[in-house]
Amino acid sequence: MDNLDLSVLRTAAGWRAESRGVVLGTITRTWGSAPRPVGSLVAVRDDGLIAGSVSGGCIEDDLVAQLRAGSLKLDKPTPLRYGVGAEEARRFGLPCGGTLELMLEPLGLQSGVDELLARLERGERVRRTLDLASGAATLADAEPGTDTLTLTGTQLVSHHGPQWRLLVIGAGQMTDYLAQMALALGYGVTVCDPRAEYADGFNQPGVTLTRDMPDDVVTAFRPDGATAIVALTHDPKLDDLALMEALRGAAFYVGAIGSRVNQAKRRARLAEHFGLTEEQLDRLHGPVGLDIGARTPPEIALSILAEMTAVRYRAAGAKPEAGCAV
């Protein structure tokens, strides 16, 4: 779940707390090109106010029009499809002839949105199962690495919470920017720094701080293909410990700050003292980040996340569709 969709849930829960009627729309299927991926959310309040997005605006406008016409007075989850024909595809912002299907769900106590939000605030990954006949939702722990949405004739199963994880070694100024940006991109962020002079002053809402030693933290983190690890301390005693474990694991991205000269020295240390192979060392992104000429801490944080994003999508085999950019 990305940050936008989490915001939709928060807004919908706030509207419900004000005793407003709310319909939640979830993209359940797409064919061809679609503006947003499966699982994306939009909420419509009983007066036509919108939170979130599932298109460039045309579908949202149609939902508001249907609400004002009285056709969104639902008593159970109901599917709605857009863009079946070429004319509708153009009308609803699907320029490549795509088709998009929404599940519209009238929210109530049975929807479990408040409990879902509470669990997400604790950083949990949650599986939500919506019964299509009754509209009742049940919540359970999500399987690690699972991010699929499944629609059957009787239920809609969705997964919520941070699928991607970022572990940052070092709680300095640059970490503040990197953590903020990563949270906005839907990462669950953990910062490791055993140094009191840095950890004592670190305070980023939504970020977990640990003061344990980096090698122990990486081991306990159990990096997988949805994990990125970035070392930012400039202290070999800390960065090297983290990288030693990270490069032996399955993290999709491992990066370390430092000049090319320092990177060469680091590779030599990791090979000589920790026995890392050339193949393992070649997984290290250093100097960390895309070369965009970044100089300031926020610019460097941006370059790191840009490179992480590129590596992540290459690892998933994603390819842009020509002519279908939104």
**Tens-place pLDDT, residues 186-223:** 888 999 999 999 999 999 988 999 999 999 999 999 89
pLDDT at 326: 30
pLDDT at 325: 32
pLDDT at 33: 62
Which residues, including other chains, have CB under 8 Å from residue 250's CB and lie 6 or more apart?
A: 223, 224, 225, 227
pLDDT digits (tens, 9 = 90+) for 5-53: 888 999 999 999 999 999 999 999 887 666 678 899 999 999 999 999 8
Nearest CA to 243 out of 226, 261, 267, 222 is that of 267
Put the strands of the sheet holding 126-131 in their side by side order.
137-141, 126-131, 155-160, 150-151
Looking at the predicted structure, is the pLDDT value of residue 147 above 50?
Answer: yes
What is the distance between the alpha carbons of residues 152 and 240, in angstroms, rounded to a whole number?
A: 48
- The answer to whether residue 217 sits within a structural domain is yes
What is the distance between the alpha carbons of residues 23 and 4, in angstroms, rounded to a whole number?
A: 17
Domain span including residue 82? 3-160
Mean pLDDT of the region 97-114:
90
Give the whole-number percent of the chain exceeding pLDDT 70. Answer: 88
- Name the domain count of the chain: 2
**Least confidently predicted of 67-71, 149-153, 245-249, 254-258:** 67-71
Q: What is the rounded average pLDDT for all residues in the chain?
A: 88
Looking at the predicted structure, is the pLDDT value of residue 154 above 50?
Answer: yes
**What confidence category does residue 319 fall into, taking pLDDT thresholds of 50, 70 and 90?**
very low
- The answer to whether residue 284 sits within a structural domain is yes
Mean pLDDT of the region 155-178:
92
Instruction: Return the structure tokens found at 326.
Output: 């939104």
Which residues, including other chains, have CB under 8 Å from residue 64's CB and lie 6 or more apart?
A: 44, 48, 50
Looking at the predicted structure, is the pLDDT value of residue 163 above 60?
Answer: yes
pLDDT at 145: 59
Domain containing 279 — which CATH number?
3.40.50.720
- The answer to whether residue 211 sits within a structural domain is yes
Mean pLDDT of the region 298-309:
96
Check whether residue 130 and residue 39 sit in a common domain.
yes
- The answer to whether residue 324 sits within a structural domain is no
Sign of CA dihedral 214, 219, 220, 221: positive
- The answer to whether residue 321 sits within a structural domain is no
Residue 146 near residue 177 (C-beta atoms within 8 A): no
Check whether residue 168 and residue 148 sit in a common domain.
no
